[in-house]
Structure formats: C-alpha cells, structure tokens
Structure 1
Amino acid sequence: MELYVLGDISAEEKLQVEDMAAKYPEIKAEITEIERSMEFYAEEHAVEPSEHLRTRVLNSLVINLGDDNTFTKGITHQDDDRQYIDNQDNDNIVTLPAVRANGFYKYAFAACLTLLLISIYGLVNIYSKLQESNTLLTSLQQDKQRFANQVNLMDNQLDMYRDTTYKVLRLKGMPKTPTAAMILAWNAVSKKVMVDVQSIKLPKNDAQHQYQLWALVNGKPVDMGVFDAPATDTAGVKEMRSIASAAGFAVTLEPMGGSVNPTMDQMVVIGTF
C-alpha cells in the first residue's frame, strides 16, 4: 500500500488495490493513514528556498522550459579583487536517498496481502454458515423432541382406552352446568386414575380457585387431587391419586389447593359406574 501511495506500481496493481479498498473499508482507511503520514513527513522536512534560488527556478522555467542543466550550485559574486560562489542556499537542502524497490518482494507482498484478505473473507463466510447450520439443527432437534413427546402422550392415551383393566367413566354436568363434561379412566388392578385432559369441558377457573376430583367410596367423598380448566398440563392424560375401589367420581370447584370436604353446591360434574 506504501508503493501505491508513492505511485511506484503498475496500472494493473493500482486497479487491484483500488478494488480491494472499495470492498474493504479497513484497507481504504490504511491507505488514507499512509497518505497522511507521508504528507506529515513532507511538511516536517520541508525547506523554504532562498529568494535567489526561487528566482533562478522561475526564470529557468520561463526561459529554458525547466532545463535544470542551466543551474549552478551557487551564486557567483564579484568583488574588486576576487570572484567567488556563494553556496549558502545549498546548505539547507536535504538530499533523501533514492528508494530502490525490489520487484520480487513488491509482488510477493501484494500476493500475500491478497491471499490473506481472501482467506479472512472465506473464514467469515464459513463461520456465518456454520452458525446458521447450528441454529437450524437446534430447531430441528427441538421439533423432533416435541413430536416424540406428543407421540408418547398419544400412545399412553390410546393404551388407557385399549387396556381392558381400565374402566372408562364419562362425568356429566349438573343442572347449573349442563354443558360441563369430562372423561376419566380407573384401573382396579393398578389403582390408577387417569383424566383425559383433552376431554375436559369445564368453565375456566379463576386464580383463587381450582377444580377438585373426588372418588365416591361407600357413599363418602375421597380427595383425588386438583386441576385447572382449561388444563395447564401439557400431557394428553393427567394422573390423579390412586384408589383401590370407587363407585363413581365427581368434581367440585374449591379454593386454590383444594378442600378437606367437597363444597356440594359447587359440584360441576358427576358420574358413577
């Protein structure tokens, strides 16, 4: 890039650098910084020419069209006895060593820089695609797990209805809740009581109340646990407390957490075998 600023590169190399600078702001900023550094160096080492030298340069441009061969290294002065050359203007001239660039290293540096930029660009693209692939893979795994869970729940629900040891009971609404209904299954062997969550059709309970399931055993209610409507449980079936025998089941609306005894005027559904 230093050679580009100095103008010591071919037209093809100049186009390559300008193309890279247009694509990558970092390269353009580096070129601008090099230009500023060179300008600063030139200003720091600038030498104000003497009036005699300025006049000679201007006269040479007009008369000789810039032929530097007409210059002498000093100004000739004539006294009465002698003639001498004043070289005081030349004392302030700082001669910089000529820059000799090796063509091989110049092209090698440009090639290395180009390969480095291409590699960085490729790595950025690969990393971006890898991140997208990981995100997609995570999403697919989550979908697969949700699908597997749904299949397992459906299998459990079907097993409940296919298992002959389960007694399926449909609970129907009371006179004040005629549209209320739900289905549960009781297994006399395993003593499990399973509520079909998708079958629950009860008015939505508020934050201060929950529905409570009761088993009717010898004419007395036995607490089987609480649940909400609509069901907050994501399972297809909800397992309640176990019981060895029951003549039927009923549901009442109770304060949050359930009650010791059912509130009879808050009964919403009931069913008997």
Structure 2
Amino acid sequence: MDINNYINSGILELYVAGALSDEENKEVYEVMLKHPEVLNEVLQIEAAILKLTEATVPKNTVLDFKPIADRIHTTNTENKVVKMKAERLRTSWLSITGWAAAIILGIGLFWAIQQNNQLQSEINLTKTDNNFLEQQVQIANSDLKETKKILSILRDKDLLSIPLGGQAVYPEAYAKVYWDKSENNIYLDVQGLPEPPEGKVYQVWSLTLDPLTPTSLGTLDNFSSDDNKIFAIKNTNASEAFGITLEPAGGSESPTLEQLYTLGTVASVS
C-alpha cells in the first residue's frame, strides 16, 4: 500500500466526518494501527475540524439594534432586510455545521477508542490462550519423552522382573520391580496400589530372608502427583525380596508388618 496516496485519497476526511460504512471505518482503523503516519494525519484532520468549529461559533451574542434600524429606514428596505436575513442564515448554518462536525468527531473518536479497547482485549486474550496452549504442549512433550524413556528402560532384556503380590491388609494390591543389577537401580511400578490416606506414605523395603533383614529404600512421597506411578530407586543391596508397607509420613526405621501391602521374592521369578 502506498501510504501517501492513501492519505491524499480523501478517505481519512470521510472517516473523521463519519461518512464511511462500518466496514470502511474498520478498514481505516486497521490501517491507522499499522501506520503511525496515517494516525497522525487523522489527528491533524480532527484538530483542524475543532479549530473550524471554534471559529464558526458566534463569540458575541449581544444585539445592536442601531444597524438594524438604519437598514429598515433605507430606500431599498426589502432588499436590505433580505440581505440581513441571508447573512444571519449563513452564520447560523456555519455554526450548525461546526457543531455537527464536532459531534461527528466526538462519536468517531469514541468509536475508535471502543474499537481499540476491544481489539486490545482480544489481543491480550489471544496471547493468554497461546501461552496456555504452549505450556500444555510443553507438558505433553515432556510427558511423552518421560514415557518413552520409561518404556525403553522397562523393555531392556537384562532387567530382572519381580512381581509383588497383594497381602492380607489389601489383597487387591499389586506392584512390580524391574531390577537393573548392572546399574544398581530398581524401577518400581506401583500402579496397583491405592491412594495412601492423609498422613501416610508408602515405604519400599529390600529384604534378605535368612535371617529376615529389611533395608529401607525410601518413601514414595510423590505417589499421588506421579501419573506414571513408576519410581526409579537406587538399590545396592543383595536383595532376595522386595516389600511395600504403609507408614506414617516421613517413613519408619522398620516395616510395619500389619500394613504390608505387597511382597515378592527374587527367587519367585519365572
């Protein structure tokens, strides 16, 4: 778009006067937003109209009857009276025109401000929606990467898989340990455990059987917030079995056997 030709086309004057259609007004408004020189030209046109309005408003409304009397008593009374009326009519018409232009200008400015506020609100809303969507995409991508990583680990043929069956306190419970002996890590899948009550936490134990010796591998503090319910835990023990108990928040020094939820022995692996 040639901005100079656009400015000189006369459309801006029609815009200020309110003589354009709604679609044309919107089009001019969008050009103003993109091109500061167009906005500046509109402001100058509006300022010129305001000055014209001020200039056309009668500044002295005090009537002087002497010139009127002189005109009445002249020889060509009819013509003089007609001329006086024409002059007053022209002055009144200019005043009306000036005020009309000012009113139209005010309406135009109000409309422009309203449109600008609405547009700004839409822009802000769009930015907010875009930011939210970007965050969701990032979260989804992060979750996808984490899921792929977990699947890659669990599919490793060298991992030892130990199922943990439900015990008396909750027979429906189940879990599974994937033991990477070369890295001294276990990957614990606890999808089969119920949500722990408030103030309680699951604690994982490595066990040797003869004599029975439990060693704590830590608590599952993020159980509720972890969607995958798969936890990576360091294990340097010569474990013969694994168990999970429900303990008070913070964990216990030794397992509460009455709250043993799952148990599985390494020797039971088929």
Same fold (TM over 0.5): yes
Give the distance between the partners of 1:37 and 1:222, measured in 2 at CA: 93
Q: 1:228 and 1:130, CA in 2 relative to 1: closer, same or farther beyond 3 A?
A: same
Q: 1:70 and 1:145, CA in 2 relative to 1: closer, same or farther beyond 3 A?
A: closer
Question: Is 1:180 equivalent to 2:173 in the alignment?
Answer: yes
TM-score (normalizing by structure 2): 0.58
Matched AA of 1:246: S
Matched residue SS, 2:247: strand
Give the distance between the partners of 2:83 and 2:185, measured in 1 at CA: 118
Q: Which residue of 2 aligns with 1:107?
A: none
Q: Which residue of 1 aligns with 2:64?
A: 49
The one of the two structures with greater contact order (alpha-carbon pairs below 8 A, sep at least 6) is: 2
Matched AA of 2:19: D
Q: Which residue of 1 aligns with 2:207?
A: 216
Matched residue SS, 1:42: coil
Q: CA deviation at 1:65?
A: 3.4
The structure with the largest helix share of the pair is 2
Give the distance between the partners of 1:248 and 1:152, measured in 2 at CA: 31
Deviations 1:55-97 (A, max 9, x none): 344x379x733437999xxxxxxxxxxxxxxxxxxxxxxxxxx
Matched residue SS, 1:215: strand
Give the distance between the partners of 2:176 and 2:19, measured in 1 at CA: 74
Gaps of 5+ in 2: 1-9, 30-41, 85-108
Q: Which residue of 1 aligns with 2:32?
A: none
Give the distance between the partners of 1:14 and 1:224, measured in 2 at CA: 80
Q: Which has the larger radius of gyration?
A: 1
**Pairing 1:1-16 to 2, within 5 Å after superposition:** none
Deviations 1:93-114 (A, max 9, x none): xxxxxxxxxxxxxxxxxxxxxx
Give the distance between the partners of 1:137 and 1:15, measured in 2 at CA: 34
Q: CA deviation at 1:208?
A: 1.0
Number of aligned residues: 207
Matched-pair contact (CA < 8 Å) for 2:246–2:261: yes
Q: Which residue of 1 aligns with 2:106?
A: none
Matched residue SS, 2:218: strand
Q: Which of 195, 200, 204 lines up with 2:192 in the alignment?
A: 200
Q: CA deviation at 1:128?
A: 8.9
Q: Which of 235, 248, 253 lines up with 1:255 in the alignment?
A: 248
